[in-house]
Structure 1
Amino acid sequence: MSRVTSRHKVLRLNGSTALARPDTLAGEEPLEIRIGGEQLTVTMRTPGHDFDLVAGFLANEGVIGSADELIALRYCGDAGTENTYNLIDADLAPGTELPASLNRNLLTTSACGICGRDSIDSVRTRTRWPVADDPARIAPDVLYGLPDTLRTAQRTFASTGGLHAAGLFSTDGELLCAREDVGRHNAVDKVVGWALREGRLPLRGCVLMVSGRASFELTQKAVMAGIPVLAAVSAPSSLAADLAQELGLTLIGFLRGRTANIYTGGQRVILD
């Protein structure tokens, strides 16, 4: 069994009867991220696409903005210990400095929010690619098809029911990249990291679709990657809506079936 999933015995209740059976669970393990050998953060994640996760995390925190600024990524272990593939060391280009907000160790759980580290003002000053002037437009029928397209790409969710997903789409509905993780913020980091490593940042003219709610943190990550449209199957938070309004992001929630709520940036949705 891969580290992405694991098998556990469960007692399955059905009415007044119980049956012992195996169940598949989504994997969750810690990943320590280091820069030049110095610990930066520890995040709980589902193993897989770890280099994308680290690259996306660094991009979304404003550390790097292109593949040229990321010299190398490598798995490693501490001296005398076995490499568990839960530690990645990143080498950055000379002169690349960490933002002041990251000059300390952070612990990020798989359910972490922004934890008070940032504000709307800090996102405005840190983002490299403003999204307010992005001319992207998307038709409602394209929007309505995004959740089903993303769901078909959620292979591990199909066997576990325990992972979040993030998908990057073009405005004509083409799925460019999909990633899964036990943490919704990790899934987005993996997508953005893929884009950075492919030389695609900023992601102008793209739509980010997430399987859960649209939190402040996910809205921040969309803005930091230059994505003009964020859509979610569930609700946004009030602070997410405030950030989207302030920075010109189109924020769409409750995208289910053929209905959706447009919270900000309605000019990007093509209406009759």
Structure 2
Amino acid sequence: MKIPGIIDAHIHFCREEPYFNHIAELAGHENSSEHLKGQYAEHNIVHAVVMGNRGLELSQHNYPDYLSYCIGLDSTCFNTGEIVQQADLVAKHLQRKNCVGIKLYPGYNHFYIYDPVLDPFYQLAMQYKKPVAVHTGLTATSQALLKYSHPMVLDEAAVRYPQVQFVMCHIGNPWLVDAVAIMDKNENVAADLSGLLEGRIANMPDFFARKRGYIDFLKLWLEYLDNYDRLLYGTDWPLANISNYIEFVAHIIPEEQHGKVFFDNANRIYGLGL
């Protein structure tokens, strides 16, 4: 399926790491910059946003020009004795043109995103007018704690920081009703549709038939929300097959809304200027 001009608002870019090499292979891909660039040319993907999960050193975040990134924070960034230095490093990232936001991993690192210890980082997001993306929903490891990644945590954060644009990654899956309720109530919360598929699906019509209940449920609540200005296409690459994911999102989003979800919203929310 060809859709003109796609922005993938949620990928990971960890070259030559065994875990990412393995999941890329399961998705029918190769975990390399060359392969990704070729796939993007084939599928009309003009840009992508990397969810950083490395350290805070600037040297750890060098990406090809077709990628922007969000600087990822884990709980080690919230040590009160070092918070000034850590905030200074985050500020240096946000001053970069290709750093388009902050990414939080609360479930993996066991913190609530509305904890006042995060205030310096939210202040930076407001100062530089860049969004804060938050991992919500299920996690990839059993050591994570779901109470921190439940989409409900975004309600208090969105109220406490009304000037911050939040992006609810993975739309809180499987807590879709809660996720939609948070978005319906809080205008400063958007959501990306990444991480809803994994691996390579050989027969998409069969997949749509087998997963009809889940897909109809997802479509129902997106229709209930009826706000396609705050939904972003994303894959969580290399977790999922790119061709499969385009077909999946095109299936759950009304055709007249494709331009917004596949391109416009990410371009606006992440300030890509494309």
Say yes or no: TM over 0.5. Answer: no
Between Structure 1 and Structure 2, the one with more helix by share is 2
TM-score range, shorter chain: under 0.3
- State the TM-score, normalizing by the size of structure 1: 0.27
Higher strand share: 1
Higher Cα Rg, which structure:
1
